[in-house]
């Protein structure tokens, strides 16, 4: 049975810390916006899927004619995903992916990995090793080998994610996996992420993404 996929792409951030004239997801990376890179890669890897993009009202027309539903962003990432789920309540789906619109270069193979893992787990998240040593903020050591850095897209069994979001907001909801965990859906698989699946955080990250593109990222 083919899985029916609903993709949520979160792009409502105001980017007030980014330091450019526009939020980072709307900056140009080669021939299109960072967000368009994300949308086209997610859509291409999930033929027949439905995609909803969460945007601030001011930018909603930036995804016109890309074949996506638009939902309006909320006060936090949790509220934005909640709005996307509400806006697609009538979309039948087996798996829901949630991706950060500021990550332009998710590879098809990685998208397929997180979705495939949902047939055996409550959900799946792409992770990469932590390359720097870690310390706790209180100064005590932490072993980086005990941790993984988490990327998106994350994928979840659709019914479970909808149920997990059917609660009041809590500040510890920093990502969708934490929302699932709080609801008791703790079987979240860790699958291989991709070091080139970067999140645009600083303006020069656009140049870093260009280097990655030249090295085959996002294919």
Cβ nearer to a copy of itself, comparing 116 with 130: 130
Structure tokens, 137: 């903020």
Number of other residues whose CB lies within 10 A of the CB of residue 207: 11
Cβ nearer to a copy of itself, comparing 93 with 180: 180
Place of tokens 């006060």: 75
**122/160 Cα distance (integer angstroms):** 7
67 near a copy of itself, rule: CB under 8 A: no
143 near a copy of itself, rule: CB under 8 A: yes
Residue in 58, 64, 90, 132 binding a copy of itself, rule: CB under 8 A: 132
Number of other residues whose CB lies within 10 A of the CB of residue 7: 29
CA R_g for the chain? 17
Number of other residues whose CB lies within 10 A of the CB of residue 91: 17
**52/70 Cα distance (integer angstroms):** 6
Number of other residues whose CB lies within 10 A of the CB of residue 181: 18
125 near a copy of itself, rule: CB under 8 A: yes
Contact window for a copy of itself (CB under 8 A) among 13-21, 40-48, 161-169, 177-185: 177-185
Secondary structure element (H or E) that encloses residue 42, with its range? helix 34-45
Place of tokens 């890309």: 66
CA quadruple 132, 20, 61, 96: dihedral, nearest 10: 10
CB 25 within 8 A of CB 11: yes
Contact window for a copy of itself (CB under 8 A) among 5-13, 37-45, 82-90, 169-177: 169-177
201 near a copy of itself, rule: CB under 8 A: yes
134 near a copy of itself, rule: CB under 8 A: yes
Contact window for a copy of itself (CB under 8 A) among 1-9, 51-59, 111-119, 146-154: 146-154
* Contact pattern for a copy of itself over residues 7 through 46, marking x by CB under 8 A: ----------------------------------------
How near is the Cβ of 195 to a copy of itself at its closest, in Å? 7
How near is the Cβ of 132 to a copy of itself at its closest, in Å? 4
3-state secondary structure of 108: helix
Binding site for a copy of itself (CB under 8 A): 125, 127-128, 130-137, 139-151, 172, 174-175, 177-178, 181, 186, 188-190, 195, 199, 201-202, 204, 207-208, 211-212, 214-215
């Amino acid at each position: 049975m083919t899985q029916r996929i609903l993709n949520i792409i979160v792009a409502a951030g105001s980017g007030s810390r980014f330091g450019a004239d526009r939020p980072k997801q709307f900056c140009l990376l080669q021939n299109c916006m960072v967000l368009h890179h994300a949308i086209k890669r997610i859509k291409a890897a999930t033929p027949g899927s439905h995609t909803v993009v969460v945007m601030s009202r001011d930018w909603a027309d930036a995804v016109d004619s890309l074949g996506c539903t638009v939902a309006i962003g909320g006060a936090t990432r949790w509220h934005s995903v909640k709005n996307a789920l509400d806006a697609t309540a009538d979309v039948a789906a087996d798996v829901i992916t949630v991706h950060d619109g500021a990550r332009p270069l998710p590879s098809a193979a990685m998208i397929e990995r997180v979705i495939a893992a949902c047939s055996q787990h409550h959900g799946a998240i792409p992770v990469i090793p932590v390359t720097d040593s870690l310390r706790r903020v209180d100064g005590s050591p932490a072993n980086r080998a005990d941790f993984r850095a988490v990327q998106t897209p994350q994928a979840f069994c659709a019914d479970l994610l909808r149920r997990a979001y059917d609660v009041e907001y809590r500040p510890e909801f920093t990502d969708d996996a934490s929302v699932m965990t709080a609801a008791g859906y703790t079987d979240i698989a860790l699958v291989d992420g991709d070091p080139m699946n970067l999140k645009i955080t600083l303006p020069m990250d656009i140049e870093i993404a260009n280097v990655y593109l030249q090295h085959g990222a996002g294919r």
